[in-house]
Structure 1
Amino acid sequence: MKNFTSEISYKTSRSSGAGGQNVNKVETAVTAIWNVSESYYFSEQEKLRISDKLKNRINSEGLLQMTSSESRTQLANKKIVTEKMLEMVEKSLFIPKYRVKTKPSKRQVQKRIDNKKKISEKKDNRKFKF
């Protein structure tokens, strides 16, 4: 896991919602901003993967922005938003293992068909015949 926290810039704002005077006068909400395309920590291929996976969160200027206003302190919100961003980028870089398609063996196929025939025969024998 690459630690690109030095490339993240932060902006503070007033939190929304209930909270009384603290919300109205203190800038506790923190927005983390990271320019994906200008990162030194990732290769071009990794940047493309990040951009592709997080395209809904990256704006037209190529900036990944996340905001946190969960805590009452600016420092805690900064820590939360940084951890969230690191986790999200790490998840976007994960490459799932390629799944090899398999076919059932001839014996398995034959066994299934035989079983179906046996059940069909059993049901056939239940019918009334003249």
Structure 2
Amino acid sequence: HVFIPGLLTSLMLWGSYPLTQVYQHEEDAKRGDKTLSLKLGVQGTFSFSAIWFLVAGISFAWYFSFRGQESAFYAFLLAMLPVVLYFSIWFVFIRKNGEKYANYSWTMWMNRISGLALNAFFIWYFLENTQILQVL
């Protein structure tokens, strides 16, 4: 009950980490760094992330279904809603003008939104699936 959600969360991180590098392609290229995001390009990085977010989402759906926790699945979808909306809007802007919108500010807002939403979900899920609240 801990290993699989940890693995699935790692899939989400694998998808989101390259997004943190989209604003520094020029600097990475100057230094000779060979990052995944630089190799994929800005739009390729977004496509890569979208695929891994989808894989992680489907995998979480399977996990919650397997455990008979449909309410957790709906809570997960609710937590992911602001993340997916922000990512989708950002991706639309990237497709129009990647140079302008692949910047630090957009990247950090993505991190803030996903960090807040997913931490809230996982704290709720932890409290829901342990006896800690019964102690209080």
Q: Which has the higher strand share?
A: 1
* Greater Rg over alpha carbons, structure: 1
TM over 0.5: no
- The TM-score bracket by the shorter chain reads 0.3 to 0.5
* TM-score (normalizing by structure 2): 0.33
* TM-score (normalizing by structure 1): 0.34
Q: Which has the higher helix share?
A: 2
Q: Which gives a bigger RCO, structure 1 or 2 (Cα 8 Å, sep 6+)?
A: 2
